């Protein structure tokens, strides 16, 4: 298999880490992520991760109950750091060096994000786990993924989801839903497909970063998708005339 990307950012939601549990972190899912990343790295592709926090906390949920949104978002970002630490531990246990770079500063827990720290970790060959999203409230971890992908120099954001691509309706609710093979970032925005928030899609578009949406459930899918094999949807920048 020949990789079509040299450097990628792998985005998984916090909910993906729940596995079959109703909340929290399933150790089997951590193991799976580590195996998938290792397999992708063996292709020679440089890979960094962004994880979400929705399995633990979302700021909007607190705001919906009349509480302060900014405090809620800070709590959501702390949830992301918890997931990132669990992932780092899982890499450590396999003897794979991993570094958590956080958008919120907490030096006793993990390294603060900076471009220099990122380059150092990348040159050392560590798996980088970007944590705490953008570090600012009112954003999502998808926007954090687009931001860090641009800073990391990733050619693509690989978004592992519950389904095998972007559909015109929710395929789990509508059996007639059709999957797109290819879309442009602008089409995703115009059609309001909701696979990622608008800010993250616009940031990916403006930095010419592909977004590849695929199912994280099948074993070995990450490496296959990096090589352009299997089922997925690719979001690409509109080709210049
Ligand atoms: N969050 C934030 N700023 C960011 C990223 C995340 O405030 O840049 C907060 C926000 O409250 C969000 C929560 O962290 O709901 C968890 O992130 P997200 O919902 O994106 O996680 P996912 O859906 O990927 O599990």
At 71, give phi and psi (nearest 5°): -60, -40
pLDDT of 24 > 90? The answer is: yes
Classify 60 as helix, strand or coil: helix
Distance, CA of 9 to CA of 154 (rounded, Å): 6
Ligand 1 centroid to 94 CA: how many Å? 28
Q: pLDDT per residue over 185-241, tens digit each? A: 999 999 999 899 999 999 999 999 999 999 998 889 999 999 999 999 999 986 645
CA distances for 194 relative to 168, 181, 189, 213, angstroms: 10, 16, 8, 12
Ligand 1 centroid to 58 CA: how many Å? 6
Percentage above 90 pLDDT, the chain: 90
Cβ 59 under 6 angstroms from ligand 1: yes
Residue owning the nearest CA to atom 14 of ligand 1? 76
pLDDT average, residue stretch 166-174: 93
Pocket test for ligand 1, best of 25, 73, 146 (most atoms within 8 A of CB): 73
Q: What is the CATH number of domain 7-236?
A: 3.40.1160.10
Q: pLDDT per residue over 81-136, tens digit each? A: 999 999 999 999 999 999 999 999 999 999 999 999 999 999 999 999 999 999 99
Run of H or E residues at 212? strand 210-215
Domain borders along the chain are 7-236
CA distances for 96 relative to 35, 38, 57, 69, 90, angstroms: 11, 9, 28, 37, 9
In the DSSP assignment, the letter for residue 86 is: H
Question: What pLDDT shows up at residue 235?
Answer: 97
Q: pLDDT per residue over 29-51, tens digit each? A: 999 999 999 999 999 999 999 99
Distance, CA of 90 to CA of 33 (rounded, Å): 9
């Amino acid at each position: 298999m020949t990789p079509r990307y040299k450097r990628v950012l792998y985005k998984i939601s916090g909910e993906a880490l729940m596995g079959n549990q109703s909340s929290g972190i399933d150790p089997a899912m951590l193991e799976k992520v580590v195996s998938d990343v290792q397999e992708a790295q063996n292709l020679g592709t440089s890979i960094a991760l962004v994880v979400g926090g929705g399995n633990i906390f979302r700021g909007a949920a607190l705001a919906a109950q009349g509480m302060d949104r900014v405090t809620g978002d800070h709590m959501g970002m702390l949830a992301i750091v918890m997931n990132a630490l669990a992932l780092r531990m899982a890499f450590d246990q396999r003897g794979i060096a991993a570094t958590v770079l956080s958008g919120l500063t907490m030096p006793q827990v993990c390294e603060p994000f900076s471009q220099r720290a990122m380059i150092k970790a990348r040159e050392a060959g560590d798996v980088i786990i970007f944590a705490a999203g953008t570090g600012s409230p009112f954003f999502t971890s998808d926007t954090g993924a687009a931001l860090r992908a641009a800073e990391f120099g990733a050619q693509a954001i690989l978004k592992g989801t519950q389904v095998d691509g972007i559909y015109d309706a929710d395929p789990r609710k509508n059996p007639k839903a059709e999957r797109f093979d290819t879309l442009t970032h602008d089409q995703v925005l115009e059609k309001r497909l909701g696979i990622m928030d608008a800010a993250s899609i616009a940031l990916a578009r403006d930095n010419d970063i592909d977004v590849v949406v695929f199912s994280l459930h099948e074993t070995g899918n990450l490496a296959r998708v990096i090589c352009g094999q299997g089922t997925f949807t690719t979001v690409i920048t509109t080709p210049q005339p």
